[in-house]
Amino acid sequence: MTDPHDHPHTADPEVGEKTKQESSQLAAEILQSTIDSLKEQLQQASESHLRSQADWANLVRRKEIEKDQAVKYAQFEFLKEFVFVLDSLESGLFSVKQSAQANPNLVEGLEMIQNQVLQLLEKLDLKVLNPEIGSLYDPSTSEAMSIQPSSECPSNSVLMVVQRGYLAKERVLRPARVIVAKNEEALS
């Protein structure tokens, strides 16, 4: 004879049905847990993918900016050195003009070269910093070489431009070198 405890499903049909429901419910819970876990993994993978795309876009954008800055910086360094050539040209032109035996054709030729050079530099976004006499001294674009008493110009204004400055790509390449006026009362 068989013991009803050995085969509970065969002995009591209600117990068998209950066990089937519990098994189905357990299987449904396991399945739901697996679905939830897979949804979470999919969400994490999706977020990771979006972060990777954003990182890639940022990297591409940053490399473009770095490339543009490298080109601008290389041009900036070239212009910084070229300014000395322009200074020499201006100095030579000034000397020729001061000479009593100045050849007018030579002066005209040097002035044409100077104008061509300035036009070329303007195309490269180089601007001349040549403060007007009597204008307010601006330390962001000019360098004060000295301060001199003056009754002609207001205090803290440009009395004389010693050397023109230059601005390249909105950045000071070389400040204008100036002498700054001070009222005689301000010096006392």
- The pLDDT, as a whole number, for residue 61 is 94
Does residue 186 register a pLDDT over 70? no
Q: In what order do the strands lie in the sheet with 176-182?
A: 142-149, 176-182, 157-163
Please count the CA atoms within 13 angstroms of the CA of 135 that sit on its side-chain side. Answer: 12
Per-residue confidence (pLDDT) for residue 13, from 0 to 100: 65
For the chain, list the domains and their CATH numbers. 127-188 (2.30.22.10)
For residues 28 and 21, is the Cβ–Cβ distance under 8 A?
Answer: no
The DSSP H or E segment spanning 113 is helix 104-123
The string of pLDDT tens digits covering residues 32-89 is 999 999 999 999 999 999 999 999 999 999 999 999 888 777 888 888 888 888 889 9
Answer for the pair 148, 65: CB distance below 8 angstroms, yes or no. Answer: no
On the question of pLDDT at 11 being above 90, the answer is: no
Is residue 5 predicted with pLDDT exceeding 80?
A: no
- How confident is the model at residue 59, as a pLDDT? 93
Q: How much is the pLDDT for 69?
A: 83
What single string gives the DSSP state of each residue in 46-75?
A: HHHHHHHHHHHHHHHHHHHHHHHHHHHHHH
To the question of pTM greater than 0.85 for the whole model, the response is: no
- Which residues pair with residue 10 across a beta bridge? none
1: burial class by Cβ within 10 Å (0-12, 13-18, 19+)?
A: exposed
Among 10-19, 48-57, 91-100, whose mean pLDDT is lowest?
10-19
- Measured at the CA of 83, the angle between CA 77 and CA 86, to 5 degrees, comes to 150
Share of the chain above pLDDT 70, in %: 89
